[in-house]
Amino acid sequence: MAKRTLDDYYDRMFQHFGTTGWWPAGSEFEVAIGAILTQNTVWSNVEKAIVNLKAAKLMRPKRIVECEPSRLETALRPSGYFRVKAKRLRAFCEYLNARHRGSMKRLAKLPLPELRNELLALHGIGPETADDIILYACHKLVFVVDTYTRRILSRHGLVDPAIGYEDLRALFETRLDPQVDTFKEYHGLLVWTGNRFCRRTPRCGECPLGPTLKKGQPILE
DNA sequence: GACCAGGCACATC
DNA sequence: GATGTGCATGGT
């Protein structure tokens, strides 16, 4: 079999799904909220919590910092880990208020390395959450690696399943056309493909990437 | 009723 | 540095 490239994977997924339009959110701040709430959680549960936040008029950093902890926790309940996530959301909002006057636009003005370092220094923001915010809320060039990214590529023999976050990010960032929209759409396609076809128990049936390949089969060109 | 889901921090070795 | 564990709801 011919060697595959990341571009081939993009084309196959795009032909199947078309444009995903990922990330679904009404504002940059909502992207950041969703990025924290979706940690180890299915998106449908995140959506319920976001509906609750809007209904409680908590979709603003100042409101989140000022409201009763129990009120925030109640709104976040459907997304799971609600006590943990309430603390993480609050920590992010405290930072946004103190350092950027509550403005995502101001946050996005930080140079990329500084932006990433500051986000990673916050409680509850790890590499994936930071990169979600940087790419989809600040519109800067980082590739987001998630469980689906690692699982899809490793099951197809393209990378070692134990590859580290930064190594996998570097792989995409050095091989793809360095366009923000390309990175957004690629991650969106991986999420959709992962969701439908590449769960912990594979469902390769209709997968645009074909069946999981055996070890030792094609490697990335 | 068991299993699973787009992470992260913290404890322990 | 690697590995294990807690955190919780809702869908299948």
Name the average pLDDT for chain A: 94
The pTM assigned to this predicted structure is 0.95
* Distance, first Cα to last Cα, chain A: 12
Question: Distance (Å) from CA A170 to C1' C9?
Answer: 34
Instruction: Give the separation between CA A6 and CA A35, rounded to whole angstroms.
Output: 25
Question: What per-residue confidence (pLDDT) applies to A84?
Answer: 98
Question: Distance (Å) from CA A206 to C1' B7?
Answer: 28
Number of helices (H), then strands (E), belonging to chain A: the values are 12, 0
Nucleotide nearest to A146 (CA to C1'): B6
Nucleotide nearest to A41 (CA to C1'): B5
Question: Distance (Å) from CA A88 to C1' C2?
Answer: 26
Tens of pLDDT, residues A157-214? 899 999 999 999 999 999 999 999 999 999 999 999 999 999 988 899 889 999 887 5
| Strand C proximal to A51 Cβ, under 7 A | no
Residues with pLDDT less than 50, chain A: 1, 216-218
